[in-house]
């Protein structure tokens, strides 16, 4: 859900730790510690926020920002169940008026959303929940960590330092191209995991599907066409997940009515 390709390295002697994506169970080879990646990404996130603030392009719409924070807070209890280590994260979201970014999530639950993107799609609260759940899913599935780990193996420069790898990934188009198949997998996985997260959080499945309908109507702006699933495939996934959810036993359906009258989840955590 981003125009900017995210950040993320090489050492034949570094140990690869095994991890599994929540819900899907897909195995991943991760080269660094989660704490190291989260700290690196948090630093990159705040650097970006500072740059945007210097340009007067951050949090200029307090009402919209408050709504984003409430909707994100509604997703966090279910996110913690999907990925228990995220209970220690300080989830954070900011709003930018820059048109260079649609929405992006950094490791550890740091999200940035474009006001321009929200207004362009005229997103309802439930549709925003679908967008934020997709972004949160990238972090819950350690996609940033996996991308950095793959980049470490693919880069043709010496050195294994995480900062070096992240910087090369940010600026090296050839390296990004090599990772396009992984990016495609991440986008498809974030769609699926995000749908589950939003459904588990009580958001109306019709709103979630409508978000993917609106997304499919946007002109194709992917920098790397092979890095993002086709809009029709994303919409089919959303429809399939919604239908599956509707087939589940009744207790699940009570949470939709609750969501219609109350946005903030009782277990919502305080957010900056």
Min dist. Cβ of residue 6 to Zn ion (A): 9
Residue selected from 7, 141, 190, 238 as contacting Zn ion according to rule CB under 5 A: 190
End-to-end CA distance of the chain: 23
CA atoms lying within 13 Å on the CB side of residue 17: 9
Which of the ranges 123-131, 151-159, 183-191, 204-212 carries the binding residues for Zn ion, by CB under 5 A? 183-191
How many other CB atoms sit within 10 Å of the CB of residue 44?
21
Question: Cβ contacts of residue 50 below 8 Å, gap of 6+?
Answer: none
Q: Which of 249, 181, 238, 178 is nearest to 207 (CA)?
A: 238
Under rule CB under 5 A, residue 1 binds Zn ion: yes
Segment interacting with Zn ion, rule: CB under 5 A, options 146-154, 180-188, 200-208, 248-256: 180-188
On whether the CB atoms of residues 71 and 198 are closer than 8 A, the answer is no
Q: Rule CB under 5 A: is residue 133 a binding residue for Zn ion? A: no
Min separation Cβ 47 and Zn ion, Å = 21
Copy the structure tokens of residue 21.
Answer: 């994506």
User: Applying CB under 5 A, what is the total number of residues that bind Zn ion?
Assistant: 3
Minimal distance in Å, beta carbon 157 to Zn ion? 27
Binding span for Zn ion by CB under 5 A among 48-56, 142-150, 186-194, 195-203: 186-194
The least CB distance from residue 130 to Zn ion, in Å, is 12
CA distance 82 to 265: 17
Bridge partner residues of 18 (DSSP): 29
- The per-residue b/e assignment along 145-164, b for 16 or more CB within 10 angstroms, e otherwise, is bbbbbbbbbbbeeeebebeb
> Among 11-19, 54-62, 182-190, 205-213, which window interacts with Zn ion (CB under 5 A)?
182-190
Closer residue to Zn ion in complex, CB, 116/268 = 116
Q: Give the bridge partners for 106, in sequence order.
A: 110
Spatial separation of the C-alpha atoms in residues 11 and 162, rounded to whole Å: 11
Would you count residue 111 as binding Zn ion (CB under 5 A)?
no
Chain residue whose CB lies nearest Zn ion: 1
Strands 17-20 and 27-30: antiparallel
Residue 151 CB, shortest distance to Zn ion, in Å, is: 17
Shortest reach from residue 187's CB to Zn ion, in Å? 5
User: Is the Cβ of residue 10 or residue 44 nearer to Zn ion in the bound state?
Assistant: 44
Length of the chain equals: 272
Q: Which residues bind Zn ion (CB under 5 A)?
A: 1, 187, 190
């Amino acid at each position: 859900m981003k125009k900017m390709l995210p950040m993320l390295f090489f050492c034949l002697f570094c140990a690869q730790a095994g991890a599994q994506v929540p819900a899907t169970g897909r195995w991943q080879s991760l080269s660094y510690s989660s704490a190291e990646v989260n700290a690196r990404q948090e630093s990159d996130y705040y650097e970006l926020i500072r740059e945007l603030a210097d340009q007067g392009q951050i949090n200029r719409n307090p009402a919209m920002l408050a709504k984003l924070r409430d909707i994100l807070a509604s997703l966090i209890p279910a996110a913690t169940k999907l990925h228990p280590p995220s209970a220690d994260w300080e989830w954070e979201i900011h709003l930018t008026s820059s048109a260079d970014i649609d929405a992006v999530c950094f490791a550890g639950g740091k999200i940035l959303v474009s006001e321009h993107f929200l207004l362009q799609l005229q997103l309802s609260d439930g549709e925003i929940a679908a967008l934020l759940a997709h972004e949160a899913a990238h972090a819950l599935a350690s996609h940033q960590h996996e991308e950095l780990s793959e980049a470490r193996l693919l880069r043709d420069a010496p050195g294994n330092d995480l900062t070096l790898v992240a910087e090369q990934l940010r600026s090296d188009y050839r390296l990004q191209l090599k990772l396009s198949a992984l990016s495609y997998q991440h986008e498809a996985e974030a769609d699926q995991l995000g749908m589950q997260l939003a459904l588990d959080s009580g958001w109306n499945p019709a709103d979630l599907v409508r978000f993917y309908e609106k997304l499919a109507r946007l002109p194709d702006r992917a920098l790397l066409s092979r890095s993002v699933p086709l809009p029709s495939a994303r919409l089919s996934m959303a429809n399939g997940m919604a239908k599956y959810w509707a087939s589940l036993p009744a207790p699940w359906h009570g949470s939709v009515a609750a969501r219609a009258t109350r946005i903030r989840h009782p277990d919502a955590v305080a957010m900056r």
